[in-house]
Amino acid sequence: MTWAQRTTCSVLEQNSVEDELELSAVRHRPEGLEQLEAQTRFSRKELQILYRGFKTECPSGIVNEDTFKDIYSQFFPQGDASTYAHFLFNAFDTDHNGSVSFEDFVMGLSILLRGTVQEKLNWAFNLYDINKDGYITKEEMLDIMKAIYDMMGKCTYPVLKEETPRQHVEVFFQKMDKNKDGVVTIDEFIDCCQNDENIMRSMHLFENVL
């Protein structure tokens, strides 16, 4: 088919699709400022700032996974941040309804920026535990690790090898898996992190972000 034919065909199709979409635009408004202030550890001003940023990128009030991936990828232009963004999305979407509303977003940030170390570690464990069954297996950790390395992209020094994430996972499991049963539970994880001063220090790294 010549492109001209294709153009007219696509125009005809689009009319019907467009009309359907318009009537079902999804919007979401967050709860009031007072309620959010009570539920999170942010001050009023901080919530205002957060919301403005949120709303600019997602005027409809909710973030779906594609927008999330898109936003996160803009911070890592050299690599492919979509896999890690997918895991992040699942960690933020606490009620698993496929979209992150402003409340979910702010709750997550409240833990990450203002929570206790215990809460932060809990959140990190939840991020790594992809199927949320309470155990981190090697496969889950490998997925996460690959996602992190994917963000680096191709042009790195030294050149990224196929088995680098796997080796990193091995190191991680050696450190974390105390009873060597092949999975890391939340207690092992928290215990081990609390004994590692590097990790403890890095947990406080982003506290003054807002």
Distance CA 42, CA 36 (A): 8
Q: Does 198 bind another protein (CB under 8 A)?
A: yes
Q: Does 22 bind another protein (CB under 8 A)?
A: yes
Contact 102, 185 (CB under 8 A): no
Q: Does 202 bind another protein (CB under 8 A)?
A: yes
Q: Does 180 bind another protein (CB under 8 A)?
A: no
Amino acid letter at 165?
P
Contact 188, 141 (CB under 8 A): no
Query: Residue 29 or 96: which CB sits closer to another protein?
Result: 29
Q: Does 27 bind another protein (CB under 8 A)?
A: yes
3-state secondary structure (DSSP) of residue 151? coil
Q: How many CA atoms lie within 13 A of 54 on its CB side?
A: 22
Among 107, 164, 186, 191, binds another protein (CB under 8 A): 164
Q: Tell me the DSSP string of 55-81.
A: HHH-TTSEEEHHHHHHHHHTT-TTS--
Query: Residue 23 or 179: which CB sits closer to another protein?
Result: 23
Q: Which of residues 72-91 bind another protein (CB under 8 A)?
A: 72, 74-78, 88, 91
* C-beta neighbour count of 106 within 10 angstroms: 23
> Least distance in Å: CB of 97 to another protein?
19
Amino acid letter at 77?
P
Contact 50, 109 (CB under 8 A): yes
Q: Does 208 bind another protein (CB under 8 A)?
A: yes
Q: Does 62 bind another protein (CB under 8 A)?
A: no
Q: Which of residues 98-117 bind another protein (CB under 8 A)?
A: 105, 108-109, 112-113
Q: Does 12 bind another protein (CB under 8 A)?
A: no
Among 40, 47, 62, 99, binds another protein (CB under 8 A): 47
| Alpha carbon distance, N-terminus to C-terminus of the chain | 55
Q: Does 159 bind another protein (CB under 8 A)?
A: yes
Query: Residue 64 or 113: which CB sits closer to another protein?
Result: 113
